Amino acid sequence: MSSTKTKLPHRALSRQKIQEEQQDKMLFAFIMFFMFNLIASIGIAIMSRGESVTASIFGISNGKEHFMHMFDNIREYNQAKIYSYASKIYPPLATVFYRLYGLLLNNELVYADESGRYLMQKDQRAMMIYIFFASVVIILLTRLFERQIKHIKSRTVVKLITFSIVVSFPILHCICTGNIAILALLFSLCFIIYRKSENAKLRELSYLSLAVAVGLQIYPIVFILLLISEDRAKFKFSRTIIYCIVILLVPFLLFVLFENPNNVGIAIKNSLIAFLNLFKVGSKGLNFDSISITNIVYMPIVRRLINQKMFMASVALFSSEFLAIVLFFLSKSHWRKVFLLTYLFINIPGISNQSILSFILPVFVLFACDVKNREKSDWIFFILFATILSPIPVWWYFYADKLTVWANHNGFPFEASINKVCGSLLFQLMFILVVIVEIVAIVYRCKKAAQNTYYEISYINDIDNMQNEVTV
Amino acid sequence: MKKQDFLAIPKNALKNETNAAKLTFLIVFGLCFVLTIIMAMITNGVTFSVKFFGTGRFSDTFMDFMNSIRDSSQVNMYRTRWTIYPPLAALFFRFIGGMMSQNSVHISFSGRKELLIDPIAMLIFMLFAILCVYLIFKMLDYRMQSEKKCLLAKLCAFCLAFSYPVVYCLERGNITIFCVITAMFFVFFRNSNNKFIRELALIALAISAGLKFYPAIFGLILLAEKKFFAAFRCIIYGLICFFGPIIIINAMDTAILSSPSSNNEYFENNATSISYMVSRLIKNLINTVKNKAAISNYSYVSIQQIFMLAPIKKLLQGYDIPKICSLAIIISEVIAGVGFFITKEEWKRVFLLIYIILNIPIASSVYALSFIIIPFAIYLYEKRSFKSADWFSLLLMSILTSFIPIFTTLDPKSIQLLPEVFGNTIDICPQKLIAAIVFQTLFFTVMISSISSLTEKIIEIRKQRKQRREV
């Protein structure tokens, strides 16, 4: 078999070069924008003596909530019989994690009431274990992201992009609030990267990783749909489902059977009710922490135009979810498929928050590496990604008092963080753009298919005519 | 070409001695870590906490970091707080203090633990800790995998990044960890093919010395390698790292003191002149050295800790022990210095320099043992034939870096570990109790193996000369 390289035709070469140049410009612009925002944020943090940072992440009036998501969950998940009486979803592997964490702490901290909520912030072991946990997760995330973007030629660009990803606003939000979503992100990323690996062991590990991510937060289960378009899809799909069921059910049943064996049915019922409640549209008004499409109906201009807000929010939610799942099956672009799956769970009102927006990072990395399909219109996506991920300086912090009065006068809370204010709008805008791009791509594919069919039919007709002429 | 299976442990791991060494370390570290976690779970974390600062003083976590911020943010800190931080460290902490509220930064000594619930202080510390661990892992991983990508090397890098001295250093919140990182960068990359990286390595050493003074001793490596011009450049960078920050701090203090609302007491004494600041710093250092000369607990690794052991104390009853300690320190330092110049193995050279640092009482805290990961990493990736002394050194370094489990469920304040050896100390952390013994044993092992290698070489050279003469 000949091993000579086939040269690409000149047109293809120049197109490839143009795409690579576009790619380099986009990455450069992203890095510049990100670094500018980061430095400006640090500058404003110095000017405001750090208050702009705490206001940005925790809100203006919630000063001392650092790492409390983790510590509150340790107290909550260590209560006895949580599956029997609670009406909230407690992912089983998360329960294992928090209980193991609780085993390493004093009982007075773990079983403290509301008044003792902040004791863990001063506790040596609680803080040391959290630092250890955060360090390990960040190291592994960095390794995985680097592995994913190693196709980029410049090592400096790879390092800067990895740095930007790890210091992005969603990741910082996860670390600062102590949200375990970052651990689910890590395992989901393992699955997204290694599910197509040539190494059989790595592929198996990737399916297990997805199962672990599902055990920690349930919603990463949507990524299993990525296996549908692969070779031996049934086999891979069924194996992954089995892993997910084992990792979900075994700890769940162990907890329920050991703590309250008579209430297995009630525990299952409560969990299902809690799952359905996640899709319930709230009536509490605007919540800048949420990224869901339901939040938009409560935004200042929109809410004046809509009377039945809850109904419209529900309609928007279910139609966007339906559209996302349909387009996922029709899409041919890898990064858009992953985005649509990510959209499916980030859009759910009961789950949606700034920490979960960290799941946009694998999408960004896939998009950044998709050089072959680079178009000029991708600049819009790059701008959106850059704005969502960069820690935008809170320049309006110095006018917080006046803005709070104005916001309260107009019936919504003042939010210091520009990332949070813009987050849901930009994320939904990205979804709309992806929908438009996909519809255009589908129309174009249909047209091309129709043309090919026309040419085939006309070609067959021509041959028939020629044959007939010959016969005659 | 066959693709290397990344997840596979090399089939002939035991035949390849370097891989065997890595595997041995991983087994020791892994076993100790698992047992530590199990015992910690049984005792609700008590056996984990006693590994760190003091028994029962659990709430002093991260306070080296927080206290440094408080001290460095004061005007004329070398006078008001008698600090011994070099100017670069002081500037670093002052910069961090600039991002915190005035109330937090100027909080009183009795209220200092409120900084642990200050969100900015803790967020900054958290990011600092994560960054330090990440940088250590990255550098170790890069160095250990310089030839072949291997899971063993990655795991070793990971374990060393989370080794006991590193975790202890983070628990204290001590900036020594940053000195370790910059010193590591210098040691690993001083001979890089890239000119820019080589220069950065020199700057890294200067920064390390700018943060803690004693890492300046790593400059001897440049002298031993006859890179005199590089050593000269490093000295220049070091002077910039010393005088640059002191000028900046001086300017900041002058600006604060000359503002109308400030207290002018120190301004009148010309206390913001650079020479005054330098002289005060030297004075504070001398006082600290004098105070730390007599150490009476097991959190240090200097040779004088050996004289705290009950059997040794009994043996030397009637003698002037402090004088004997001073003599022992001087002699061991001289031996280490000589050993540095006679040994050819890189890991031993680096270890002996670290020994010179850690043998000085003021710098000999157990958490400063985090410097040991530098020679240990070199030891694990250097290809050579292993002698019995090398395996013994591996065991000692593994003990120094691993989390040795504590097998007790009793209240730590109520028990004493081997009082016939360790006296009446209430410290039951095995690492702290034996750190000095293990460290000094490692020193003697290295010295003996260096001398025996030198002797072997001399004998070989003589043999060759004799053969040439006969020919």
- pLDDT tens string A434-450: 999 999 999 988 888 88
pLDDT the model gives residue A265 = 77
Asked whether residue B6 carries a pLDDT value surpassing 50, the answer given is no
Q: Residue B115: its chain A contacts at CB < 8 A?
A: none
Question: Distance (Å, rounded) from C-alpha B160 to C-alpha A343?
Answer: 39
Residue A3 scores a pLDDT above 90: no
Q: Which residues of B touch A106 (CB under 8 A)?
A: 44-45
Q: How long a stretch of residues is chain A?
A: 472
Q: For residue B141, what is the nearest residue in chain A, using CA coordinates? A: A143
Please report residues of B whose CB lies closer than 8 A to that of A104: 37, 40-41, 44-45, 48
**pLDDT (0 to 100) of residue A423:** 86
Q: CB of A412 within 8 A of CB of A298?
A: yes
Distance from CA of B190 to the nearest CA of A (A): 20
Distance from B57 to chain A by nearest Cα, in Å?
A: 10
Cβ atoms of residues B98 and B69 within 8 Å: no
C-alpha separations of A176 from A180, B59, B93, B95 in Å = 11, 21, 21, 21
Please write the tens of the pLDDT for every residue from A367-380: 988 877 777 788 89
Show residues of chain A in contact with B171, CB under 8 Å: 124, 128
Nearest by CB to A138, from B40, B62, B130: name it.
Answer: B130
For residue A376, what pLDDT is reported?
A: 77
The C-alpha atoms of residue A77 and residue B439 are separated, in whole angstroms, by: 43
pLDDT at A219 over 80: yes
Q: Which residue has the higher pLDDT, B285 or A43?
A: A43
Q: Is the pLDDT of residue A18 over 70?
A: yes
Q: How many CB atoms lie under 10 A from the CB of residue A329?
A: 11
Any idea what DSSP says for residue B363? G
Least confident of A124-133, B44-53, B121-130, B234-243: B44-53
User: Looking at beta carbons, which residues of chain B come within 8 Å of A50?
Assistant: 99-101, 119-120
Spatial distance between the Cα atoms of B469 and B466, rounded to a whole number of angstroms = 5
Residue A9 is predicted with a pLDDT of 57
Return the percentage of chain A with pLDDT > 90, whole number: 34
How far, CA to CA in Å, does B53 sit from each of A196, B224, B299? 48, 37, 8
Please list, in sequence order, all residues whose beta carbon lies within 8 angstroms of the beta carbon of residue B451, skipping any fewer than 6 positions away: B339, B342
H-helix or E-strand spanning residue B105: helix B102-105
CA distance A177 to A358: 13
The distance of B242 to chain A (nearest Cα, Å) reads: 24
When scoring B126, B127, B131 by the number of chain A Cβ atoms within 10 A, the one with the most, hence best to mutate, is: B126
Residue B1: per-residue pLDDT: 39
pLDDT score of B17 more than 50: yes
**Is a pLDDT exceeding 90 seen at residue B219?**
yes
Q: Could you tell me if B45 and B250 are in contact, meaning their C-beta atoms sit under 8 angstroms apart? A: no
What's the rounded Cα separation, in Å, for the pair A418 and A430?
17
Test A46 with B99 for CB contact under 8 angstroms. yes
Distance, in Å, from the CA atom of B256 to the CA atom of B102, rounded to the nearest integer, reads 14
| Closest Cβ opposite residue B113 in set A122, A130, A201 | A122
- Highest mean pLDDT (candidates A161-170, A411-420, B197-206): B197-206
d(C-alpha A344, C-alpha A352), whole Å: 10
What residues in A contact B161, CB-CB < 8 Å?
139
The pLDDT value recorded for residue B158 is: 92
- Does residue A284 carry a pLDDT above 60? yes
Nearest to B369 by CA among B197, B160, B78, B223: B160
Asked if residues B10 and B379 have their Cβ atoms less than 8 Å apart, the reply is no
Q: How many CB atoms lie within 10 A of CB B385?
A: 7
Whether B99 and A138 lie within 8 Å, measured CB to CB: no
Find the largest Cα–Cα distance for chain A.
101
Is residue B3 very low, low, confident or very high in pLDDT (cuts 50, 70, 90)?
A: very low
Alpha carbon of A251 to those of A53, A78, A94, A214, A265: distances in Å?
Answer: 38, 14, 10, 13, 16
Domain residue extents for chain B? 17-470
- B193 CA to chain A: closest CA distance, Å? 16
Among the partner residues A66, A107, A122, nearest to B119 by beta-carbon distance = A66
Per-residue pLDDT at B103: 83
In whole angstroms, what is the distance from residue A117 CA to residue A110 CA? 9
Q: What is the pLDDT of residues A84-128, one digit of tens each?
A: 666 677 888 999 999 999 999 988 888 988 888 888 888 888 998
Quote the pLDDT of residue A191: 94
Query: Rounded distance, CA A226 to CA A329, Å?
Result: 10
Would you say residue A218 has pLDDT above 60? yes
Nearest CA in chain A to B163: A132
Chain B residues with a Cβ under 8 Å from any Cβ in chain A: 3, 5-7, 37, 40-41, 44-45, 48-49, 52, 58-59, 61-62, 98-102, 113, 116-117, 119-120, 122-123, 126-127, 129-130, 133-134, 137, 158, 161-162, 167, 170-171
What average pLDDT score do residues B281-293 get?
74
Closest-CA residue in chain B for A128?
Answer: B171
Whether residues B119 and A201 touch (CB distance < 8 A) is answered with no
- Across B275-295, b (16+ Cβ under 10 Å) vs e yields ebbeebbeebeeeeeeebeeb
CA distance linking residue B237 with residue B216, whole number of Å? 11
Residues A139, B49: C-beta atoms closer than 8 Å: no
Tokens of B405: 């489990």
Q: Choosing among A104, A171, A204, which should be mutated to test the B contact, i.e. which has the most B CBs within 10 A?
A: A104
Which residues 6+ apart lie within 8 Å of A62 measured at CB?
none
Mean pLDDT, range B157-170, rounded to an integer? 93
B272, pLDDT greater than 50: yes
Chain A interface residues facing chain B, Cβ-Cβ under 8 Å?
Answer: 42, 45-46, 49-51, 53-54, 58, 63-67, 100, 103-107, 118, 121-125, 127-128, 130-132, 134-136, 138-139, 142, 175-176, 198-199, 201-202
Phi, psi of A260 (to 5 degrees): -155, 80
Residue A405: partners with Cβ closer than 8 Å, 6 or more residues away: none
Find the residue in B nearest to A106 (Cα): B44
What residues have CB less than 8 Å from B305, skipping those under 6 apart? B295, B298, B364, B435, B436, B437
Rounded mean pLDDT of A44-60? Answer: 85
Percentage of the residues of chain A whose pLDDT score is greater than 70: 91
For A108, the token pair is 């007075």
**pTM of the entire predicted model:** 0.88
Closest-approach residue (CA) in chain A for B42:
A103
Range scoring the smallest mean pLDDT among A61-70, A78-87, B43-52, B451-460: A78-87
B196 chain-A contacts, CB cut-off 8 A: none
* Chains A & B: contacts with CB separation below 8 Å: 114
Residue B252 has pLDDT above 70, yes or no: yes
Contact A135 B134 (CB under 8 A): yes
Which residue would you say has higher pLDDT here, A366 or A459?
A: A366
- The answer to whether A367 and A338 have CB atoms below 8 angstroms apart is no
Task: Name, in order, each residue with C-beta under 8 angstroms of A386's C-beta and a sequence gap of 6 or more.
Answer: A29, A30, A33, A34
Q: Which residue of A has its CA nearest to B103?
A: A49
C-alpha A255/C-alpha A91 separation (Å) is 11
Q: Is the ipTM of this complex over 0.90?
A: no
Picking from A300, A280, A301, A304, the residue whose alpha carbon sits closest to that of residue A292 is A280
